[in-house]
C-alpha cells in the first residue's frame, strides 16, 4: 500500500512539474493526473518510473504523448523526465497559457525536462509553437527561470555542418497595440 501511495504522489508531482513553461496554466497543478500506457515499470530503489507504449498523460490542459516516458526523482524530490518518440511520430506536449486562450505546443524526437533547473530541451526535428509564433530547429532549449529560448540548426546546441541546408526557422507575429492605446499625435503643439 505504501508503494501505491508513493507512486500516486510521485505521479502527481511529475505531471505538475513536467513542463513548467512560462505562463503555463497554474490551475493544472491542482488537477488529477490521468495516465494511459501499455506498460508501467516502477523501480522504487532507483526512484525510476518508465511508462511505455502509446503513453498519454493528461493533467488539466497539459497533455503529453510519447512512445516512452522515463522519470527519475533525486533525493531532494526533483524530477527529470524524458519523453521519447516512437515509430509512429514525435513526442508531443500541449498546455494552455495562463490567463490566455492560446496554447504552448511542442514536439521532437526527444523532450527532456528538469524541474530543478526549470529547463526543457527538445532534440531532433524540434518544433515549438506559442500562440501564432513558431520556431523550428534541431535543438531547442527553454529556460523557464529566465524565459529565454535558444534554437540551433545542429544537434545538442551546435550549428549544422556547412552545406547541410539545416537552418533555424521562426515565424514571429507582429504584436498589435491594445485597442485603448493611442498613437502619439503628430501635430505640433503651440
Local confidence pLDDT in tens for the 190 residues of the chain: 444 343 433 333 343 444 444 445 566 667 777 889 999 999 999 999 999 999 998 888 888 899 999 988 888 888 888 999 988 799 998 888 777 788 888 999 999 988 788 788 999 999 999 888 899 999 999 887 787 889 999 988 888 888 888 899 999 888 775 555 555 544 444 4
- Give the separation between CA 68 and CA 81, rounded to whole angstroms: 10
- 65 Rama sector, left if φ>0, alpha if ψ -120 to 50, beta otherwise: beta
Question: What's the pLDDT at 34?
Answer: 80
Question: What's the pLDDT at 182?
Answer: 52
- Give the separation between CA 121 and CA 157, rounded to whole angstroms: 10
Q: How many beta carbons lie within 10 A of that of residue 48, not counting itself?
A: 13
- Give the separation between CA 148 and CA 167, rounded to whole angstroms: 19
Question: What's the pLDDT at 44?
Answer: 92
Question: What's the pLDDT at 25?
Answer: 55
Question: What's the pLDDT at 42?
Answer: 93
CATH 2.60.450.10 fits 2-171, yes or no: yes
- 117 Rama sector, left if φ>0, alpha if ψ -120 to 50, beta otherwise: alpha
Cβ partners under 8 Å of residue 91, min gap 6: 64, 65, 66, 67, 83, 84, 85, 107, 108, 109, 110, 111
Strand partners, 150: 141
Question: What's the pLDDT at 68?
Answer: 96
Indicate the domain borders of the chain.
Answer: 2-171
Question: What's the pLDDT at 4?
Answer: 39
Residue 110's nearest CA partner among 144, 66, 52 is 66
Question: What's the pLDDT at 179?
Answer: 56
Cell of residue 11, nine digits: 505521479
Amino acid at each position: 500500500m505504501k508503494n501505491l501511495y508513493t507512486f500516486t504522489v510521485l505521479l502527481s508531482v511529475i505531471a505538475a512539474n513536467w513542463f513548467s513553461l512560462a505562463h503555463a496554466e497554474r490551475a493544472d497543478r491542482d488537477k488529477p493526473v490521468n495516465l494511459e500506457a501499455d506498460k508501467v515499470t516502477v523501480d522504487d530503489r532507483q526512484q525510476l518510473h518508465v511508462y511505455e507504449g502509446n503513453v498519454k498523460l493528461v493533467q488539466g490542459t497539459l497533455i503529453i504523448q510519447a512512445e516512452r516516458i522515463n522519470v527519475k526523482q533525486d533525493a531532494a524530490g526533483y524530477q527529470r523526465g524524458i519523453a521519447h518518440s516512437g515509430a509512429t511520430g514525435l513526442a508531443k506536449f500541449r498546455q494552455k497559457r495562463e490567463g490566455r486562450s492560446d496554447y504552448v505546443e511542442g514536439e521532437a524526437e526527444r523532450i527532456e525536462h528538469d524541474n530543478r533547473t526549470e529547463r526543457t530541451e527538445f532534440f531532433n526535428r524540434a518544433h515549438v509553437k506559442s500562440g501564432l509564433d513558431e520556431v523550428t530547429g534541431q535543438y531547442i532549449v527553454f529556460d523557464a527561470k529566465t524565459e529565454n529560448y535558444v534554437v540551433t540548426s545542429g544537434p545538442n546546441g551546435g550549428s549544422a555542418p556547412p552545406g547541410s541546408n539545416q537552418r533555424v526557422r521562426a515565424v514571429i507575429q507582429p504584436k498589435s497595440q491594445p485597442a485603448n492605446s493611442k498613437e502619439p499625435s503628430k501635430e505640433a503643439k503651440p
